[in-house]
């Protein structure tokens, strides 16, 4: 692999990481908005369904886990 090819590959990987980080951040905000318009009963049902699917975490929507990953990625992307 030439230096130019290596630089292009590294740039492509960086772009993918940035795209993924952006999408996770947008999903984080979409989930926050959805929660803000739900009734407590709807939130509870969402939490039950997440648990049944095996994707529950700390809270109904894994907010803390997602926020931690975003913070870690932003820190490493800087």
Nearest alpha-carbon partner for 53 in 62, 65, 42: 62
| pTM reported for the whole predicted model | 0.74
Kindly state the tokens that stand for 41: 């009963």
Helix then strand then coil, in percent of the chain rounded to 5, is 80, 5, 15
Delimit the domains of the chain by residue range: 32-78
pLDDT at residue 73 in the model = 87
pLDDT at residue 14 in the model = 87
Kindly state the tokens that stand for 78: 């800087």
- The residue with tokens 């772009």 is 15
DSSP letter at 54?
Answer: T
- The answer to whether 54 and 46 are in contact (CB under 8 A) is no
Per-residue pLDDT tens digits for 11-57: 888 889 999 999 999 999 999 999 999 999 999 999 999 999 998 88
- The residue with tokens 């800087």 is 78
Give the model's confidence band at 77: pLDDT under 50 very low, under 70 low, under 90 confident, else very high: low
């Amino acid at each position: 692999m030439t230096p130019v090819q290596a630089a292009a590959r590294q740039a492509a990987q960086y772009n993918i990481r940035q795209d993924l980080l952006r999408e996770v951040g947008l999903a984080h905000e979409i989930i926050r908005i959805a929660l803000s318009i739900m009734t407590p009963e709807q939130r509870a049902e969402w939490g039950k369904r997440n648990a049944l699917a095996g994707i529950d975490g700390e809270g109904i929507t894994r907010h803390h886990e997602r926020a931690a990953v975003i913070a870690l990625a932003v820190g490493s992307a800087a």
